[in-house]
Structure 1
Amino acid sequence: MDVIVLGGGLMGTASAYFLARRGARVTLIERNRIGTGATVASFGNIRRTGRHLSQLPLAHRSLKLWGEAERMLGRNVEFRATGHIRLIFDEGGLADMRAYADTARPWGLELEELTPREIRVRFPGLGPEAIAASFSPQDGSGNPRLIAPAFAEAARGLGAEIIEEAEVESVSRDNSGFHVATSKGAFAAECLLNTAGAWGARIAAQFGEDVPLEARGPQMGVTEPLPHRILPVVGIWTRDKEYGAYLRQVERGNIVFGGAAERVPVDLEPGHARADPMRLPLQLRAVARLLPAIAKVAVIRTWSGCEGYVRDMLPVMGCSATTPGLFYAFGFCGHGFQLGPGVGDAMAELITTGRCETPLDDFRIDRFSRAA
């Protein structure tokens, strides 16, 4: 089986790897460099807490693969299962957390509720005004700059062809399969997997499938190093977007943070947002609620990227409803990093066997036309 994968972020490279591992002949085409789209803009959060319930089976599948990544890929991608804590500062957040914990439990996610004293003892320095927290001990973080190149290199080792800096000029299908013309030549295959992220809707539209997707850029930042003491990824349960911050500390001591600042619209040409320095004070105030010590350190870099947000905040994943041999995995709405390995494994299973053990029905592309 020949498969062309369009898009070289985490979804595309993971799919290329698992497809090649199943014996498919894979050509991956990326318009820039591997991992330079939504993946490199990612916070690196590997969390299941707060996910839409229908994503949890995929998230569980993916978490298992994150745990195997270093052995599987032959490279350290800095996966650390240090846990994920979400702090709570008001009764509304506490009610939301408890309701989510109750509904997620049958889906296989167990959340531990922490008291203020347990937070202080187990995670000193975090959220001194928090009234409670949820804790998921098996979740954690990974390095967004390492994971896509690691999957791409491993896929190449299994025979996949990885083509970078190739602008796609046209995509078509005839009785013999799919044809992709690029600035680096023409390619053909019997199957096409669209993992083009924020650009994915453009490709889907060429096959009569419209997806209500917007391209947006997050605002991320990193501080100078602090003495290492914060192991888990830290987030918040809140109904107030101005406080929706998150952070993690890398082993070198730097604090990576994001959230609170509204994601900005992105023009797909060139397809990269810039961080807005005017938004940084508001963002840091929200982060300081989680970690007061951050108010005393310098921010050394900020960045953004380009993510695809679908109207219902669920990804597009699975078979095309109009075109045999066409498959989709895009539009992960800024929440795709944790899912990446599971997405690649699931898509490879679906493409090569015609079935998938992980339920994907909620992510079907024809859900938009059915709702019209």
Structure 2
Amino acid sequence: MSNKQLAADVVIVGGGIVGAASAFFLRKRGLSVVLLERGLVGQQASGVSFANVRRQGRSLPQLPLAHRSRDIWGRLPELIGHDAEFIVTGHIRVVYDEKSVAAIEKYAADARPWGLDLEILSQAAIRKRFPFLGPDVIGGSFSPNDGHANPRLAAPAFGRAARKAGATVLENCEVVDIHKDTLDFRVSAKDGTTVTAPVALICAGAWAGKLSAAFGEPVPMETHGPIMGVTEPLPYGIVPVVGVTSSNPAEIMYFRQVKRGNIVFGGGMRGKAYLDERRAHPMPGFTLQQLPHLRRIAPALSNVHVLRTWSGVEGYFADDLPVMGPSKRVSGLYYAFGFCGHGFQTGPGVGDVMAELIDRGTTTIDLEPNSIHRFAATSAAPKVVLANA
């Protein structure tokens, strides 16, 4: 049993890519930081993500954050000493019908003033550029500077960089109580560690709703588990990340090929996620439904063997936007969670923005659409015991 008594400028609860990046960028700004992670840094959603580093397809107001994050992804070696296997491959969205063609054309036109230039490809052009695509593909949009990374490397790399920069990063340190005294937050862990700090940042992913509720700000967050898999290695030849734009949810698929040759894929329906178990179980039936859609996009993958499937616990809101910004009830309290399956690409940028907000009191990114206040919490709960939070 630990009896550590720690104090810092900022205490962070949750060590996914958002929490780890926030710790790193806060230290770069000179603030002392203690990060508490119940398991290992990057063990939950950040470590089992599809790891798409895309801007294409994001809501338009989220593009400034996505651009800021993309810049950081491109500078990882100089910033944190590790590239997390990020590579620029381009990202293509394919379509099967004229309605979807109109949708990608409109998005491309609308995204241009937000700084995202997409190339719209006709059926002939897309077939020439990407000959692996199947005959049902009649067009697509291409974002050349997007790419992908390794989800098992990214958050831990930020965690190590934060430690090297002077942050205290405590793993296997489960928070059981968090409340604010007159001036400071006091966070207590199951192992006896306590941390006091005038600022608290909640980055606990799908579990963060219990923490926000402890401060009178409950949120209507749902939890789901995306179903993903990886195939046997094949000769490397599919460079871009590939996704589908369709009004039919069953057709939504995405996949990428890593340099080792394996195809990583996901999409379609989401499975159940269990907060108490801290896991989401893979659903073999869902994988079997995914494979025909994978073959439809790329017929050469028709007979490939699937080696492994997995899932992860993710938090979702009905408006598909995260909670990001200051508490509306408690001074010094900040949130960054519920990224609705979109948090991996934006994670480094979120960390940078939250550090800027905490340090300066403002940020160049408009966070009002992400405010927790949009859920109009009405009840206060000054102190809650958070066992298994």
Q: Which category describes the TM-score, using the shorter chain as reference length? A: over 0.9
Write the distance in 2 (CA, Å) between the matches of 1:171 and 1:153. 25
Judge conservation of contact 2:217–2:377 (CA < 8 Å) in 1: no
| Aligned ranges 1:128-167 → 2 under 5 Å | 128-167=135-174
Per the alignment, residue 242 of structure 1 pairs with 250
What amino acid maps onto 1:157 in structure 2? K
| Aligned ranges 1:91-102 → 2 under 5 Å | 91-102=98-109
Identity %: 51
Write the distance in 2 (CA, Å) between the matches of 1:127 and 1:247. 14
The yes-or-no answer on 1:271 pairing with 2:278 is yes
Judge conservation of contact 1:87–1:127 (CA < 8 Å) in 2: no
Per the alignment, residue 209 of structure 1 pairs with 217
| Aligned ranges 1:71-86 → 2 under 5 Å | 71-86=78-93
The yes-or-no answer on 1:186 pairing with 2:194 is yes
Range moving further from structure 2, 102-111 or 7-16: 102-111
Judge conservation of contact 2:200–2:334 (CA < 8 Å) in 1: yes
- 3-state SS in 1 of match to 2:154: helix
Write the distance in 1 (CA, Å) between the matches of 2:363 and 2:42. 26
Judge conservation of contact 2:218–2:377 (CA < 8 Å) in 1: no
For residue 24 of structure 1, the aligned residue among 12, 22, 31 is: 31
Write the distance in 2 (CA, Å) between the matches of 1:11 and 1:138. 22
Write the distance in 1 (CA, Å) between the matches of 2:219 and 2:48. 22
What amino acid maps onto 1:283 in structure 2? Q
Normalising to structure 2: TM-score of the pair?
A: 0.93
Per the alignment, residue 373 of structure 2 pairs with 366
- 3-state SS in 1 of match to 2:280: coil
The yes-or-no answer on 1:114 pairing with 2:116 is no
Write the distance in 1 (CA, Å) between the matches of 2:377 and 2:335. 17
Normalising to structure 1: TM-score of the pair?
A: 0.97
Q: Which runs of 4+ in 1 moved over 3 A?
A: none
Per the alignment, residue 61 of structure 1 pairs with 68
The yes-or-no answer on 1:177 pairing with 2:184 is yes
**Deviation for aligned residue 1:84:** 0.3
The yes-or-no answer on 1:342 pairing with 2:349 is yes
- 3-state SS in 2 of match to 1:165: coil
The yes-or-no answer on 1:357 pairing with 2:364 is yes
Per the alignment, residue 197 of structure 1 pairs with 205
Judge conservation of contact 1:41–1:306 (CA < 8 Å) in 2: no
Per the alignment, residue 312 of structure 1 pairs with 319
**Deviation for aligned residue 1:129:** 2.2
Write the distance in 1 (CA, Å) between the matches of 2:223 and 2:24. 26
Size of the aligned set, in residue pairs, is 371
What amino acid maps onto 2:214 in structure 1? Q
- 3-state SS in 2 of match to 1:258: strand
Write the distance in 1 (CA, Å) between the matches of 2:142 and 2:205. 30
**Deviation for aligned residue 1:188:** 0.9
Gaps of 5+ in 1: none
Write the distance in 2 (CA, Å) between the matches of 1:34 and 1:370. 30
Per the alignment, residue 227 of structure 1 pairs with 235
**Deviation for aligned residue 1:289:** 1.3
Gaps of 5+ in 2: 1-7, 379-389
What amino acid maps onto 1:350 in structure 2? L
Write the distance in 2 (CA, Å) between the matches of 1:2 and 1:168. 18
**Deviation for aligned residue 1:127:** 3.1
Write the distance in 1 (CA, Å) between the matches of 2:302 and 2:48. 23
Judge conservation of contact 1:111–1:136 (CA < 8 Å) in 2: yes
Judge conservation of contact 1:7–1:29 (CA < 8 Å) in 2: yes
For residue 87 of structure 1, the aligned residue among 94, 104, 113 is: 94
Range moving further from structure 2, 107-116 or 220-229: 107-116
What amino acid maps onto 2:141 in structure 1? S
CA RMSD between the two structures: 1.4
